[in-house]
Amino acid sequence: QVQLLESGGGLVQAGGSLRLSCAASGRADSNNVMGWFRQAPGKEREFVAAISRGGGNTRYADSVEGRFTISRDNAKNTVYLQMNSLKPEDTAVYYCAARSFALPTLSSRVTGYDYWGQGTQVTVSS
């Protein structure tokens, strides 16, 4: 099993920045592709970003490309999401997710991930 714990959410004004962290424990290690998703009230959970096992490859949703950066520190079993130029439409609960060991591709599908954190709220005021 893999346990994921997000932190770093909060309230920020439009144009501001936040950095989310996701600490992995259990069987999680540097061999899992990791992703960030978000879910706004009344909407489906959507893909935000993903990062490869070694951190050399990343993938982003069009809506966050150029504003958000995903990274990882495998020595700390932690994945980060740096969010800049935040907009009110970025308001959502943000979830960290991990793919199972055997799956190396950077999936953007919710069903492509096997392990999920509890989420952290990000609110961007206008």
pLDDT at position 102: 76
* Closest of 96, 101, 90, 94 to residue 124, by C-alpha: 90
Per-residue pLDDT of 36-74, as tens digits, reads 999 999 999 999 999 999 999 999 999 999 999 999 999
Cβ proximity of 31 and 85 under 8 Å: no
28 has pLDDT over 70? no
* Closest of 3, 2, 33, 30 to residue 112, by C-alpha: 33
Per-residue pLDDT of 77-90, as tens digits, reads 999 999 999 999 99
Report the alpha-carbon distance of residue 12 to residue 73 in Å, rounded: 25
* 63 φ/ψ angles, rounded to the nearest 5 degrees: -70, -20
